[in-house]
Amino acid sequence: MKSIAIAALAALVTLHPLGGTALAERSSDKKTLLQILFPPSPNYQKGKYRSDKSPIPRKVVRFNESFPEGTIIIDTSERRLYHVMSNGKAMKYGIGVGREGFTWQGRNRISRKAEWPGWSPPEVMRRREAAKGRILPKYMEGGPNNPLGARALYIGSTVYRIHGTNQPWTIGKAMSSGCIRMANDDVRHLYERVDIGTRVVVRN
């Protein structure tokens, strides 16, 4: 009986591999058989857990500033991103921004878009983290475990991006090295509405 149960579990693992991109794209409402057999601990919904949802829900708000429709406004002090719509409105998203010493401002345009982007940490970041005893890879394949999350919008020729994150608890905080973080659900939403060439305004 024990050998039958082990064989059945092995089959489930084969049918439902953990950590794949396809799994990450599924609705969070659908549970795999492994999730049913091994439900998360009671503390799963408390504190630092993996989720595609933002703790700060996006919403349409009034926006009366004189920016053309489609412009992305990133307000780092407010820790919000505005995507300008028509009729004096904008979609407002919660974001994570650069920590002290890593804030910046300026105007640029979206130069590239990528789904499940790979990550090449800048050399200066690799040296900085190595000094703290953390060794970063030269390159990390895209996927659910990648720090850039589900989508990335590259800002001009800078090293900065608007990207997803698998750390939703960082939304609304200043914890990045200058990039703009969004929950995966939000960055997918924005990604579908933004074209290459879109204006980006970053202000403090």
Pair 72, 194: CB distance under 8 Å: yes
Q: Which residue has the tokens 């020729």?
A: 157
Q: Which of 16, 83, 163, 189 is catalytic?
A: 163
Write down the H helix ranges in the chain. 2-15, 21-25, 33-37, 123-130, 184-191
Active site residue 16: no
The closest of 15, 77, 116, 65 to 202, measured between CA atoms, is: 77
Active site residue 83: no
- Main-chain phi, psi angles of 11, to 5 degrees: -65, -40
- Catalytically active residues are 163, 179
